[in-house]
């Protein structure tokens, strides 16, 4: 059972980095730091979008609009931190 929890924690940790990368890439894309016509850039953007959008879309539908800021990645990261802490503090110590 601990091995399953370790895998879940690893997946959550990796997904944190994917969300952070997607947020940073969206800023680079919005401020024209990266060339949006480049095939590699489009592949990275498409991959990050497909990995994060299924989770961010429901959060965006619930979250009120705050000007032009998208706070859904911040909410998602807080949820991931919360899930990790619950697993580490309450589930992991009691699993044999």
pLDDT in tens, the chain (96 residues): 899 999 999 999 999 999 999 999 999 999 999 998 999 999 999 999 999 999 999 999 999 888 888 999 999 999 999 999 999 999 988 886
Give Cα 6 to chain centroid, integer Å.
19
53 touches 22 (CB < 8 A): no
Coil, helix or strand for 69?
A: strand
Q: Please, which residues have CB within 8 angstroms of residue 84's CB and are 6 or more apart in sequence?
A: 9, 12, 13
CA–CA–CA angle 76, 44, 61 (5° rounding):
30
The predicted model scores a pTM of: 0.91
List the chain domain ranges.
2-94
For the purposes of burial, counting CB atoms within 10 Å of the CB of 33, is it exposed (0-12), middle (13-18) or buried (19 or more)? Answer: exposed
């Amino acid at each position: 059972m601990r091995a399953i929890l370790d895998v879940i924690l690893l997946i959550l940790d990796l997904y944190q980095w994917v969300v952070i990368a997607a947020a940073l890439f969206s800023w680079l894309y919005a401020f024209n730091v990266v060339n949006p016509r480049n095939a590699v850039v489009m592949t990275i953007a498409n991959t990050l979008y497909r990995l994060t959008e299924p989770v961010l879309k429901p959060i965006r539908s619930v979250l009120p609009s705050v000007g032009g800021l998208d706070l859904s990645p911040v909410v998602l990261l807080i949820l991931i931190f919360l899930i990790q802490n619950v697993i580490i503090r309450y589930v992991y110590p009691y699993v044999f």
